[in-house]
Amino acid sequence: MIDRLRSGVAAGAIAGLAYGLFTWLVVSPVVRHLEHLASHGGDHGHDAAHTVGETTTAVVSAGGGVLWGILLGAAFGVAYHLFEPGLPSGTLRPYVLAGAGFLAVSVSPWTVLPPATPGMEPLYGSTLRVPLYLGLVVVGGIVAATSIFGYTRMSRTRGRGVGVFVALLPLVALGLLSIIAPPTLTGGASAGLSAAFRWLVGFSQAGLWGLIAVVFRRFDRRVDRRGTNSPTATARGTD
């Protein structure tokens, strides 16, 4: 357990550094530019008056990216240790868990509350959005768990094709939720620009999870070789 947590935090720190750099070099300038566009396009952005300077925002945001990576990495390590026996397909396990994490933490909240392009205004206050966000993370976790459980169950008895089909059902249900959900944002940049920014956000989060999984797997294999190579998996948790 502690070994896994350590691997997770290390993987999260490395992935977080890369993500922080990405925030610094790509996200901050893009956000700055889009906000500039929004404030010159007539409707002023929601942050016409910043209480802190742009440099501070960029630095703290980059640091936030690093901490975000560490937080996700730590959660990843613990969850991996606890749920490893339930995850399908040997060496693919870290990637399955990373996909589940991405689905729960990012994709599921985005179905109702899509990423806001700079300059957009939320329609509802944060007192409504915060509980909604947390609730959707829980929903995402349930969707991911159902999907994985359905796959392992069905592929064991009915074959892999049926397993994949059953695994897709909860994901389709989540997709339907995004279609029927009412809009929560208004205004902002053009539709094309807004879509591009959302893809940027989506790919960067997916990349962060993917990087965590790749690095975690490397560290985990090293721990495996160095330490307890005994067949009992529980022996690993004893140090």
Partner 1 sequence: MSTNTDTVADRFATAGAQIDPITALTALALVAALGFTLLFLQEPLAHDALHDFRHGAGIICH
Residue 236 interacting with partner 1 (CB under 8 A): yes
Give the binding range for partner 1 (CB under 8 A) out of 96-104, 106-114, 173-181, 186-194: 106-114
For 136, the token pair is: 């959707």
Q: How many CB atoms lie within 10 A of CB 18?
A: 17
75 versus 168: smaller Cβ distance to partner 1 = 75
Closer to partner 1 by Cβ: residue 165 or 193 = 193
Structure letter (DSSP) for residue 232: -
Under DSSP, the state recorded for 197 is: H
Q: What is the C-alpha to C-alpha distance for residues 101 and 5, in angstroms, rounded to an integer?
A: 16
Of 43 and 47, CB closest to partner 1: 47
Instruction: Show the site string, 2-41: x = touches partner 1 by CB under 8 A, - = not.
Output: --------------------xx--xxx--xx---------
Return the DSSP state at 114: P
- Contacts of residue 68, Cβ cutoff 8 Å, sequence gap at least 6: 16, 19, 208
Helix, strand, coil share (%) of the chain residues, nearest 5: 80, 0, 20
Residues binding partner 1 (CB under 8 A) = 1, 22-23, 26-28, 31-32, 47, 50-52, 56-58, 60-62, 64-65, 67-68, 71, 74-75, 81-86, 90-91, 93, 106, 109-110, 113-116, 118, 122, 126, 129-130, 133, 184, 198, 200-202, 204-205, 224, 231-234, 236-238
